[in-house]
DNA sequence: ACACCTTTTTAGAATCATTATAAACTACTA
DNA sequence: TAGTAGTTTATAATGATTCTAAAAAGGTGT
């Protein structure tokens, strides 16, 4: 029910698979970071249906394009996504290989002084790597 | 000649391949960003020897570990490296898929207010995505 | 409900960057 | 010069992601 309109408004048909993925992604108390494979595992645990991996890829990319997910720039062999789409930054714990949110207030205001002719700033993302 | 000592001091044997890669990477006026495949092309053009792709991977990773190269966190199917190892940040031109250096002075000082128990900040990297 | 068309799902294949393997080769040291 | 550890190399393996094309499902109008 909850997500049908959201999908329709985005021009995405509210299929069973997409609604189930919405539940897993957006129906939790806290936002979280994930790779496609982690999401696949989470879906397996939370629902009794099987959703093909291709559909998970398709859906995550569709949601990202609509702005319901963010991709996090990080050096990893897997792509990391974030259900927290607010303007925020990240710690990356190198040992644990885990991302931790840094709210915008946790980082002083960032002022980009350099300008590039004919280009606009789309986003400013800070990655703070942590070691022991 | 120039790089033999540098390699020896790092505990890396100054092999012909490593010295040739040093020439391509560090003997240019300006620093630059590259993927492994771009470096492979550059090597092919600048030297008359063939260096196997595996050696290029090995060498780039060895140099990165020694701090002679930096890896740039970015969402791409290929890993980006930087011969500019100074503390600096990047524009990423989404259309051109090109990185542009942002010197530290081009970005206001960044103050991370949040602390994580038992962890130290290793690096702070800013990625500014550009669109038209 | 039915027909029709479009979008979506799916299993499986393909792609491609990266890493592993293991044999040949090379740099250093005694 | 022999011995040893480090390095290079061709090639295979891995694994995340994308592609394909056929089947299934959604949406719309009747
Ligand atoms: Mn995407
Ligand atoms: Mn590396
Ligand atoms: Zn986040
Ligand atoms: Zn740079």
| Measured CA angle at B55 (ends B53, B58), to 5 deg | 115
Give the residue with minimal CA–C1' separation from C10.
A52
- Stretch (H or E) spanning B44: helix B36-46
Q: What is the pLDDT at residue A114?
A: 92
Nearest to B100 among A79, A110, A116 (CB): A116
Quick check: B105 and B70 in contact, CB under 8 A?
no
Q: What is the pLDDT at residue A132?
A: 86
Q: How far is CA A108 from CA A103, B35, B113, in A?
A: 10, 32, 8
Quick: pLDDT tens for A83-92. 999 989 999 9
Other CB atoms within 10 A of residue B87 CB = 11
- Calculate mean pLDDT across residues A95-111: 90
Phi, psi of B33 (to 5 degrees): -105, 145
Q: Is the CB of B12 under 7 A from strand D?
A: yes
Q: How far is CA A130 from CA A78, A96, B107, B109, B115, in A?
A: 19, 10, 21, 19, 10
Choose, out of A71, A101, A125, A132, the residue to mutate when testing the contact with B (most B CBs < 10 Å). A125
Q: Which of B105, B102, B24 is nearest to B59 (CA)?
A: B24
**CA→C1' distance for A62 and D23 (Å):** 22
B102: chain A residues, CB-CB within 8 Å: 112, 114
User: Any idea what DSSP says for residue A94?
Assistant: T
Quick: pLDDT tens for B6-55. 999 999 999 999 999 999 999 999 999 999 999 999 999 999 899 999 99
Question: Which positions on strand D lie below 7 Å from a protein C-beta?
Answer: 6-11, 15-20, 25-27
Kindly give the distance from the C-alpha atom of residue A118 to the centroid of ligand 1, in angstroms, as a whole number.
25
β strands within chain B, DSSP E: 33-35, 70-72, 80-82, 88-93, 98-103, 120-131
User: Any idea what DSSP says for residue A42?
Assistant: H
- Stretch (H or E) spanning A61: helix A53-66
Confidence band, pLDDT 50/70/90 cuts, at residue A95: confident
pTM above 0.85, yes or no: yes
Cβ separation B108–A106 shorter than 8 A: no
> A1-84: which CATH topology?
Arc Repressor Mutant, subunit A (1.10.10)
Number of residues assigned to chain A = 132
User: Any idea what DSSP says for residue A131?
Assistant: E
Nearest to A130 among B79, B110, B119 (CB): B119
Chain A residues with CB under 8 Å of a chain B CB are 71-75, 79, 91, 93-94, 100, 102-103, 105-114, 116, 118-132
């Amino acid at each position: 029910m909850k997500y049908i309109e959201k999908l329709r408004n985005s021009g995405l048909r509210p299929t069973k698979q997409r609604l189930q993925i919405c539940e897993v992604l957006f129906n939790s108390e806290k936002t979280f970071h994930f790779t496609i494979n982690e999401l696949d595992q989470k879906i397996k645990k939370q629902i009794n249906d099987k959703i093909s991996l291709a559909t998970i890829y398709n859906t995550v990319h569709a949601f990202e394009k609509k702005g319901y997910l963010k991709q996090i720039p990080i050096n990893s062999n897997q792509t990391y996504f974030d259900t927290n789409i607010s303007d925020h930054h990240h710690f990356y714990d190198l040992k644990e290989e885990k991302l931790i949110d840094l709210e915008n207030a946790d980082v002083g205001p960032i002022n980009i002084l350099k300008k590039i002719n004919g280009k606009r700033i789309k986003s400013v993302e800070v990655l703070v790597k942590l070691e022991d």
